[in-house]
Amino acid sequence: MHFFSGTTHAKIDDKGRFVLPQHIRHGFVEAGELRFSIGLGLGGCLTIYKRSVIEGIVQRFQKKQHIAKYQPFFTTFFSTLHQTTCDKLGRTSIPGFLKDSVGIEKEIVIAGVLNKVEIWSKEAYEKNLQMLIQGDGLGKMTEEAFALLGEEEDAPLKKITADDLAGVFS
C-alpha cells in the first residue's frame, strides 16, 4: 500500500512550473502512466490527487450531483481541477488561476498527506506549522486523530491519550 508523506521545498519558475520530486512522481504512476490532477485543497493549499482517487471521487459524486446545496461545491471543485503530468525533467505546471487563488508566488512546500500531496506557499505552510506547534493545538489534534482509528469496527484500538503521545511532538 502506497501513501505519501514528508515535505520538500521547491521553487516556481517564471512559467509557473516546479519539479515534482522523483519519489513523489513514482507514487502517481498507475497502469504505467504518470497522470494526476491538481486542484484546490483545504485550508489554503492546492492538492494533487492520483488518477484513481479522482476516478473514485467522480463515481461517488455523480450519484449526488443533483443535490442543490452541493452544487456550488461541485462547480468549484471540478472547474478548478486541472489534469496534468510531468515533462521529462519532472516539471509540472500550476495554472495561474490556481497559484493566485492560494497565494503561491516563488517558493512552495510539497507535503505528502496519505493518498494525496498538498502544495503550500512556503509562508502559509510555515505559519500553519508554527501555530500548531506553539499552542496546544497539535497535541489535542493528534489525540483526536488517533482516536478516530479506534472508531473502525474491524480494527479496534485502545483509546490513545495525550500521555501516550507525550514524547511524539515535543
pLDDT for 106-146, tens place per residue? Answer: 999 999 999 999 999 999 999 999 888 887 778 888 888 89
Higher pLDDT, 165 or 116: 116
- What average pLDDT does the chain have? 88
**CA-CA distance, 166 to 168, in Å (whole number)?**
6
Q: What is the pLDDT of residue 6?
A: 95
Contact 38, 32 (CB under 8 A): no
C-alpha cell at 132: 500548531
Q: What is the pLDDT of residue 165?
A: 45
Q: Where are the domains of the chain?
A: 7-121, 135-170
Q: What is the pLDDT of residue 159?
A: 53
Three-state DSSP string of the chain = CCCECCEEEEECCCCCEEECCHHHHHHHEECCEECEEEEECCCCCEEEEEHHHHHHHHHHHHCCCCCHHHHHHHHHHHHCCEEECCCCCCEEECCHHHHHHHCCCCEEEEEEEECEEEEEEHHHHHHHHHHHHHCCHHHHHHHHHHHHHCCCCCCCCCCCCCCCCCCCCC
Q: What is the pLDDT of residue 140?
A: 84
Q: What is the pLDDT of residue 67?
A: 92
**CA-CA distance, 25 to 18, in Å (whole number)?**
12
Higher pLDDT, 168 or 139: 139
CATH topology of domain 7-121: Chemotaxis protein chec (3.40.1550)
Instruction: Indicate whether 156 pLDDT > 50.
Output: no
Q: What is the mean pLDDT of residues 29-54?
A: 96
Instruction: Indicate whether 151 pLDDT > 90.
Output: no
Higher pLDDT, 157 or 83: 83
Burial annotation 56-83 (CB, 10 A radius, 16+ → b, else e): eeeeeeeeeeeeeeeeeeeeeeeeebbe
